[in-house]
Amino acid sequence: MRQLLLLSLILSCTSPAAAFEISGSKWPGAAATFYINIEGFSPSSISWNSAFTQAANDWTQETDFDLTVVNEYRDPCRDDGANGVDFTSTICGTSYGAKTLAVTIRKFQSEVLGPARIAEADIVINQDVEYNIFDGPIVQFGVPGLDFRRVALHELGHAIGLDHESGPPAIMAPNIGNLDRLQADDIAGVNALYDGLSNCTIRPLKLGAVNDALSAGDCQVFELTAGGDDNSFVDVFQFALSSPASMRFAMTSESLDSVLLLADANLSVFDFDDNAFADCDSTLTANLAAGSYYLLTNTFVEPVKDDCGTSGDYALTVQYTSADPVALGAASSFLGDVSSAEFFGGISANNGISYGNVFTPSDSLDIDATINIDPAHQGQPGFLVAAAANSNEIILLNQQGQFELYDPQAGQLTRARELVLGATERISFANDLVPAELGISAIEVDFVVGYGLHANPDEIYFHGTPLSLIVAPE
């Protein structure tokens, strides 16, 4: 559904003064392109196009939003998905008010989560007003007209998503005044609007099983979307795929009315499930391209099903199938050293034709991990470590290829291999492992690999997301 909103700047010498005002509506990706091709120059010999471009550049340089200006004409009164700018005699057929200088016409597209997004923003400027381009006070001796550039600054603020402000000094005050540059309140408004993710804890998504809860103290949707009135709880998980994958997400709960949502890197929701009629659970399947994503575990403002509530514990299971091993998250280290190492892992039941994380007890599994060593560490004497953990114990791979129980009292971790570190190192946890032959019918195991340098043996570099294996009966 498309909605339309008109926001205008009027002529007045008053100086209203409150904090920035935002509704939460915004552009996906914190970026927009405007088209302008106004011929001619102001009385001060500055072209209208260059003044508008400079105003756009100010927003880009001072805030988290990216404005691009293309010197090409697009009719601002046409509903064409392009953001046009022009002098006009009317507001696309409606008369300007007696003191109206310019109007921004915003069009909206409804969103699954949070307020409607901005789909188009056109700026029309009253051609019957005399304009010039200058800095300083709005009234200047010997300088005819009103400053076009500060009008453009104001209207672009509306286009970005700001409403009128009536508090601290701001270019977004409803009346034109002596301010000719963006103010701290303007900048804070844009950054608050487009940085909702900073209001919530963002956690790496484990490709496996996680137990969690939605409850008081968690992030709420209106905080995440920087606007709106949805106060339901939400957990935010981030994940990246280095190659395409088929994904299945399952959120199960005995008490929480579960909702799952998938969003792209710009937090635009593209798939969701809230239709678990028989119980409190939610499931979602998707074929995803390589890229960055968010998974949101959510509930309703008011429960939809009688037996389910809006807070409580839940279990999240993430299943994937891919033609390639998966990236295992950002590099980390015991002592906080920064590393550019990259970690990949894969579990295969068909000799590497495909990889996944959920298998049956009768499958024959190969479990391997690869480390792309930080270039600064390549060629140095070092060691590899490999660990497997379940809910009961942690075991470490030794140099004989056998697992031994982790001893927290030992002076150092058991090492899987001593070596001079190359560009890429590979660790094999298992080949042709059949869980049923070991008496295993169901288990969850997380695998982690890392490496260290002999020169600093207490520092170990490893990955933030474990390689997860779930064995479940057929």
pLDDT per residue as tens digits for the range 141-152: 778 889 999 999
Domain ranges of the chain: 2-194, 199-322, 326-471
CATH code reported for the domain at 199-322: 2.60.120.380
Given a cut of 60, whether residue 474 has pLDDT beyond it is: yes
pLDDT for the residue 17: 35
pLDDT for the residue 411: 75
* Among the ranges given (13-27, 155-169, 381-395, 402-416), the one the predictor scored with the smallest mean pLDDT: 13-27
CB neighbour list of residue 267: distance below 8 Å, 6 or more residues apart:
28, 196, 197, 224, 225, 294
Mean predicted confidence (pLDDT) in 260-289: 89
Helices (H) and strands (E) in the chain, counts: 4, 31
In whole angstroms, give the CA distance from residue 201 to residue 219.
Answer: 8
H or E element at residue 347: strand 342-348
Range list of H helices, 88-137: none
Given a cut of 60, whether residue 215 has pLDDT beyond it is: yes
Mean predicted confidence (pLDDT) in 212-224: 95
Mean predicted confidence (pLDDT) in 11-28: 63
pLDDT-derived band at 7 (thresholds 50, 70, 90) equals low
Task: Determine the topology of domain 2-194 in CATH.
Answer: Collagenase (Catalytic Domain) (3.40.390)
Mean predicted confidence (pLDDT) in 22-48: 94
More confident residue, 300 or 381: 381
Q: What percent of the chain has pLDDT over 90?
A: 82
* Among the ranges given (103-117, 213-227, 297-311), the one the predictor scored with the smallest mean pLDDT: 297-311
Domain 326-471 class, CATH top level: mainly beta
In whole angstroms, give the CA distance from residue 323 to residue 117.
Answer: 35
Q: What is the pLDDT of residues 300-356, one digit of tens each?
A: 988 788 888 999 999 999 999 999 999 999 899 999 999 999 999 999 999 999 999
pLDDT for the residue 10: 59
Average pLDDT, the chain: 92
Residue 463 burial by Cβ neighbours in a 10 Å radius (0-12, 13-18, 19+): buried
Q: What is the pLDDT of residues 440-454, one digit of tens each?
A: 999 999 999 999 999
Beta bridge partners of 424: 372
pLDDT-derived band at 276 (thresholds 50, 70, 90) equals low
pLDDT for the residue 232: 95
In whole angstroms, give the CA distance from residue 221 to residue 224.
Answer: 5
Q: What percent of the chain has pLDDT over 70?
A: 95
